[in-house]
Structure 1
């Protein structure tokens, strides 16, 4: 579940680059210099222009100092970044003091440091910086030089209007900071979750490529083993049986031949797998997905159309297998006794439905399930399911991968959507059984979750074909 706290873990390891703040400050320096020059020397407005340029020059000196004393890619800790943003706020406050305070339209620029902090720092540093900006805005109500004006007689704005500007700045700063922090937080969580997805997919792809590694190893080891076998045979012919080392040479030859047989099996294993499992019918793919989850006291029912002709033939895609396996694992974890996996297809569409008889999805997470770090394990299923299910759930491979952080469904959904699937979830509805003895309507209390996965058949098979062509090209380049 997404949270926003003062000690925000999603921003704990994020450090903004010093070069980013330096570039933003150069942009501010250029804008401030142009504004001072145009207003004072071109438009003829009277104010302390040289003092303003001195403050701008101080920021330029700070930039040069930071550029010469730190590497370009140096990343700032939160304390140092907050200190630099606080300086920018104070420098802007000084410019506003010299040019009319909150009456100056550029007073809105006080919001910029707070928004930058909200997108890069944890909430506590943003709150601290917002407090400094609020103090500066409050002081500017009472302490400031007159607003530059053409007739050297600036208008006297009512205090109520100035107070309204002050309130508007504070409220806008608060709203923009919360909004920017929330968006940046969700973006960071999504980035972390996608990294976990890529890691899982890479592990699955690695497992599926082990056969290729076995073939390469068998090919590389074949030549030295052949040499060892040849030398052992020559030594065996030259020695007599009574020789003390004859048995050792004989053992060396037999073991080298055994190694060659093992390598031959590895070669044939790879070719057999390529021929047998590279492409598989949908029914075989579903059976492979179901196999690891059998024997846990939960009945898994596979349903297919009566006519199995023209069923889809797909590549053995690790992402597809992992995504379906994860959804089925969740259904088995929380089912009371039965899980149904129904497959159907036509010339234009392929559909899979995974349905269990467990408690179903909680109302407070069903609309957010599929987002990263949204989990129901802590509070949704504790009151249901057998002890065997709880033991299986506690030791499931997916929990070990994501630590119960709510990434399982997100990873499965992401991997399936990459193959062109549309994934939707729902809860099963109660169905009427008929009338009871009193003449009232009786209904069966049916619970459980439904996950519906559908593909465009043409797009899925075309995508599988493209993947096979790409993998073949990659293998050729590797060889």
Structure 2
């Protein structure tokens, strides 16, 4: 029970780690959007300065404004270099990046009329973005900071020097500036909030997938607890039955009756098989993989596996093809054998007259393919392959075979794929990384 509780704790920790990675990935994409927005801000400031000086003839403190712009460009270049390599972005780092944007906007407005500049409404863009990107407390902090900046600009600023001979009216230009500011705010909000919303939806989808996977793995843990408990309970009656059968074989009424003795030996053989199954369950539930692994060659493992399965199942036509020429020393545990047995048993149920099992490898990947001549998979079964109770057999508890196979393969770093063959029947392919199975010749054994 202690080992199973450790498994639960490890899975919970892994799930929390995966969810954190998903959130960090979403934050990284949002940070890249802020970097792109900052480049647009730099381009907009350059265009505004050119129009104000060359078209309107307004005298601007170009040195101060260009100094702010250079600082913003340097910060954005540093941000691009850092977040190109670093993938983990926290709420604090997003908040600090937005503070830089607010600070640069405040500085530019200070040199261009303060609150009388129509582009002061770009502060609303920062507030709305903070409401989308940041946590609640950080958003309210942004609201407070922008309010302080507005109050500062209303009291302190450098007024624009309007040329006396300008053909443009100041009021008309202010109204035009308001329209331009509104269009900028609206366009940027639509573009970037759409992108940010897409990131958030993708993050929520990934989290939902992780939680679904966690629920399935917790289901496996509960099944393992039940299986190990049942195996412990069955151990005693199986041992008692073995002793009784041994006594019966030596009794004269059975020993002198060949027919009865043959039946007793058949029962004893089935009893030994039951004990082997129970031992395998306890071994898988109570030991680590390395401790319960058996050292063998890759080809010998599959030869023994096929011989054991074929001798204990009522299969009529079974083909086994091994395409592995290289002899490799591997360590397999009972879960791999049980995984293959589950797929073969499922195929045997729908196709007792035609069944093929193929083994091959490609570089560092082991392929195990089971092909049958049955009716194939239904579309909804393929769409939800590997989910519990996803079966067309119509009986309680059906559909757990492929569910267990999927989780075993995923735990070992492999995959499970299924498809319907063009000429009829179905094919299930299991893949496992050889790196997790092959033993190094000079490594520890």
Q: TM-score when scaled to structure 2?
A: 0.42
Q: Tell me which protein shows more helix as a share of its residues.
A: 2
Q: TM-score when scaled to structure 1?
A: 0.40
